[in-house]
Amino acid sequence: MREIVIATSNRGKAKDFEALFAPQGIRVLTLQDVDQAIDVKETGVTFEENAILKAETVSQLLGKTVIADDSGLEIDALDGRPGVYSARYAGLDKSDEANIDKVLNELADVPAAERTARFRCVLAVAGPGRETETFSGSCEGVIHTERKGENGFGYDPIFYVPDKGKTMAELTPDEKNAISHRGAALRKMEIKLSDIIVEGDGK
C-alpha cells in the first residue's frame, strides 16, 4: 500500500486526511508513526510560513514526500487572534478546553453580530526533488456563546456555521469535510494528487 506522511501528531487532523486518502488506497502516517522525536518549531508569522517550514523540515529528515498543515481560527473582534497561535492560545500545553475558555472569556461582552470568524488552513507539500506547493481553504462562521456538539476537535464546539444551523462539533465527519477549511484545501490538493503521491513513496 502507498503511504503519505502528514507532519502532525494530532489524530484529529489525521482523520481529515484519511477521509481523502483512504478511498485512493493510500495509508496516512503521522509523526507518531514514523518518528515521535520530530518536533518542528512553528516560528512563522503566517499559516503559509508555518506549513512550508514543517513540510520541508520533515521531508528533509525523512527523505520522503510530506504534507504539512497549519490552520487556525481568526476572530474579527480579536483582530484576527488567535491566528497562528490557535493551538497554544491559552498556553504551551495546547489544551483545547483552555483555548476555548480563553476565547469565550475574551468575547463575553461582544454581541452576536460582531462575533464573526473564520477557520483558515494552508497545506504545504514538500518532497525530494520537488518544488514545495501550497493549497489553502477557509470557512466562515460565528463564535457561539457556549460549547455545542461532541464531534471534531479544537474550537469546533464553539464555531457556529449559519448555513448549517449547527456548530462544527455538531456536524458529522462527512458534513464537516464538505464545508471545512481543511476540506476546501484538501479538494484543491486532490486535483494534483497523482503528482503528489508517487508509487512506492513513503515505504
Which CATH number belongs to the domain containing residue 119 in this structure? Answer: 3.90.950.10
Which long-range contacts does 158-164 make (Cβ < 8 Å, 24+ apart)? 158/100, 158/103, 158/104, 159/73, 159/117, 159/119
Residue 94, all three cell numbers:
495546547
Residue 202 has pLDDT above 60, yes or no: no
53-62, 146-155, 174-183: least confidently modelled range: 174-183
Catalytic residue among 16, 33, 69, 70: 70
pLDDT tens per residue, range 72-81: 999 999 999 9
Domain contains 145: yes
Q: Are strands 133-143 and 2-6 parallel, antiparallel or unpaired?
A: unpaired
- Give the pLDDT band of residue 94 (cuts 50, 70, 90): confident
pLDDT at 203: 42
Neighbour tally for 149: CB within 10 Å: 17
pLDDT tens per residue, range 101-138: 999 999 999 999 999 999 999 999 999 988 999 999 99
Residue 199 has pLDDT above 50, yes or no: no
Domain contains 165: yes
pLDDT at 196: 75
Domain contains 34: yes
Domain contains 180: yes
Query: Bigger pLDDT: 38 or 176?
Result: 176
Domain contains 201: no
Number of independent structural domains in the chain: 1
Domain contains 203: no
Domain contains 202: no
Structural domain harbouring 73: 2-196
* Percentage above 90 pLDDT, the chain: 62
70 is catalytic: yes
Residue 173 has pLDDT above 60, yes or no: yes
Mean pLDDT computed over every residue of the chain: 90
Domain contains 40: yes
pLDDT at 53: 96
